[in-house]
Amino acid sequence: MKKITTTIVEKILSFPTRSENLVAIQYKKNSEWIKLNWKQYYDQIEELSLGLQSLKTKNKLRVAIWSNTRYEWSLLDCATLCAGATVVPVYQNSTPDEISHIIHHSEANVLFVETSVQLKAFEKARLQDSKLMQIEHVFLIEKTGNSAALEDLIKIGQQEKIKNPKQFVQNAQKVQMDDNATIIYTSGTTGLPKGVLLTHRQIVSEVGEAFPFCGANEHDVSLSFLPYAHVLGRIEHWGSIWIGFNLAFAESIESLRKNLKEVRPTIMVAVPRIFEKIYTSLISQMENQPIKAKLFRWALSAGQKISQSKLTKSQVTWMNLGEYLLADKLVLNKVKDAFGGRLRFCISGGAPIQSDIARFFHSCGVLILEGYGLTETTAAVCVNTPFQYRFGSVGKPIGDVQIKIAADGEVLIKSDKVMKEYYKNPEATAESIKDGWFYTGDIGELLPSGDLRLTDRKKDLIKTAGGKYIAPQKLEGLLKMNSIISQVLIHGDQKKFVVALLTLEKTVIEKIAAEKNWLYNSWNDLISKSEIESLVRKAVAETNAQLASFETIKKFKILDEEFTVENGALTPSLKVKRKFLDKKYSSQIESLYSEH
C-alpha cells in the first residue's frame, strides 16, 4: 500500500486554495452561529501560530490545553502543530493530581485555560505544587480583565505577520512526518494516565485512511462535542482538516439536542453512551402509553424488515416498502429528526455499543457504524462503512492495518497508526509493543468475512470461583437496554456467582413518581420502593434469560449516586472505572455475598 507523504500541517497550508463558498468552521457566539470559510480559518491559525512562536521559553515549545471542546481548541491545535510544537491536552474534569502529573510529565511550558475560575485554581495550585512551576506562560481562552489571553497572542501574531509575511509558511514547512505532534494521556481507568506520544505520521495514517474509508467528503457537516483531550474527538477535528468537511461546535453536551436540530449534521462521531441515552428516552416515552406504544412497535417492525433487507442485500418487496414509507412518515422520521433529519451515518467508538441498539436505530433510519481503536492506535484501526456493515462487529481493518489474534484471544495490531511510545516510559512501551505488534489488551476474533468482533477487555474478564470466564461489558450492555436502568457495574471475580450494582434512569423514575404522586428527590429518599424494585428485578430476569447459567446475575443492589466523570466513576470517554468502583462500593458488594 502506498504511504501517505503529506503531513497534517501541509493540509493546513492548503486551506486558502479551498473554495470560499465552503464553510470550514461554525460555532455559537451570543446565540448566533458564526461561520468561517477555509481562508478565514487559515488567517486566524497563521496569526495565533506566529503569536505562539514569539513566546520565549527555556525549552522547545509544548502547549497544554485545559478546556472543553470549542472552536479555540481547534485553532490552538492547528497553530501549535504549524509551529512545530507539541500539543498536550488536559481533560476539563481532570483532578488536581492528574493535571499536575500531565503538565510535569509532558514538560509543557505554555498553558491555555478556558475560564478565569480555572486560571485562579491553577495559580493557587502552582503556589503549593512545584511541579507546576515549569509553566512559563498562562493564557485565558475567554478574555477576562487584564489577564493574558488567546486574543492577545493573535494581536502579537498580526504584528509579526506584517514584519515578515512569509514567516508562518517557512516555519510550517519545516515540520516533518516523524516530528512529535501530541502527547495524549490515557483515560486512567487504573492509576495515573500514561502519555501516548503520536507523531505526524500516526495522525496522517489515521485520517488519511479512516475518513475516506467511511466515505466522508467536503460537503459533509459534523457536530463536534466529544472532548478533544480524547483521541476520538481529536480525530474528528483532524479529519475535518484532511477531508475538508464542515466542523460545527456544540455549545455543550446539555445543548446537544438543540444544536443537532440547528446544525443538522450529515455525519456524527459519538460514544455509545450518547446513543444509549437517546434510546432510553425514546423507549420511556412509549411506556404507559398503549396506543403510542402499539403504533411505535408497528413502525419499528416495518423498519426492521427494510433493515434486514439492507443487511442481507436482498430485494425489498413492494408491500414492505409501502408499509415502511407509511411508518416513516407517521413515526420513524421523528427519530431521524432528533439527529437533525439529514444524517448519513454516525461513527461510534470509545467503547462497545450494544448491537441491539445499533439495530434499533438502523430500523428507524439512523445508521451507526461501530469502529474500534485505542489512543495508542490513534483511534480507529477497524470500522464499518455505509456500504458494508455488520452489527456486532467493528468492521474490517483500515488501510495498512494488520491484525492477528494471539493464542489467548488478545487482538494484536501492526500499523503506522500505532503510537511512537509511551512518553518517558520505556518499560510500558516494551510491554505493549513486541516485534512490531501492539498488544491491545482486548479479546476478539476475526470472522470469516474479515470483520473483527470484540468480546471484552482482557483485564476486565471475570473469572468465577468455578473457573468460568465472564465478559462484564456484555452483561452491563444487556441490562442498560432496559429504560429504567442507567448504569451498571458487574462483579464476580473469584466469587461463586455474579452480582450487579445498578443506578436508575432519573427521568424514568421521576415520571413514575409523578404518576403515583410520590415525593421523589433521590432513591434513598423514595418511600415506596417496592414497585421500582419489582421493575428492576424484572429487567434483571429478562437479562438472565439471555445468558448462560454461570453468567446470570444472582443479586443486585440499587445505588443512589450516578456514575459520573465528576465523582471519579467514569473516565472522560465515559467508560466505567472498575477498580475505583470496586473499592468505593466494596461494602455494598460484600453485603450481596454475605446475604442469605
Amino acid letter, residue 3:
K
Amino acid letter, residue 533:
E
Residue 190 pLDDT class (50, 70, 90 cuts): low
CA 567 from chain center: how many Å?
Answer: 19
User: What is the C-alpha separation between 395 and 201, in angstroms, rounded?
Assistant: 23
DSSP 216: -
pLDDT tens digits along 457-513: 777 778 777 777 788 888 888 898 888 898 999 988 888 889 999 998 888 877 877
Residue 521 pLDDT class (50, 70, 90 cuts): low
pLDDT of residue 595: 64
Is 132 in contact with 122 (CB distance < 8 Å)?
A: yes
Is the pLDDT reported for residue 525 higher than 70? no
pLDDT tens digits along 89-147: 998 888 788 899 999 999 999 999 999 999 999 999 998 898 899 999 999 999 888 88
Is 210 in contact with 17 (CB distance < 8 Å)?
A: no
pLDDT tens digits along 372-383: 999 999 999 999
pLDDT tens digits along 541-560: 999 998 888 889 999 999 98
Residue 563 pLDDT class (50, 70, 90 cuts): confident
Mean pLDDT over residues 25-45, rounded?
97
The residue with greater pLDDT, 192 or 323, is 323
CB atoms inside a 10 Å sphere around CB 533: 12
Mean pLDDT over residues 222-246, rounded?
96
User: What is the C-alpha separation between 496 and 288, in angstroms, rounded?
Assistant: 38
DSSP H helical ranges for 54-176: 71-82, 96-106, 116-128, 150-163, 167-172
pTM of the model: 0.87
Average pLDDT over the chain, rounded to an integer: 91
Q: Are strands 345-348 and 267-270 parallel, antiparallel or unpaired?
A: parallel
pLDDT of residue 96: 85
**Domains of the chain (ranges, CATH numbers):** 9-175 (3.40.50.980), 273-457 (3.40.50.12780), 462-594 (3.30.300.30)
CA 430 from chain center: how many Å?
Answer: 27
Q: Which three cell numbers stand for residue 161?
A: 505577520
Burial label, 111 (beta-carbon count in 10 A; 0-12, 13-18, 19+) = buried
Residue 281 pLDDT class (50, 70, 90 cuts): confident
pLDDT tens digits along 296-311: 999 999 999 999 999 9
DSSP H helical ranges for 287-434: 290-312, 318-327, 333-338, 355-363, 426-432
Residue 189 pLDDT class (50, 70, 90 cuts): low
The residue with greater pLDDT, 283 or 168, is 168
pLDDT tens digits along 310-368: 999 899 999 999 999 999 999 999 999 999 999 999 999 988 888 899 999 999 999 99
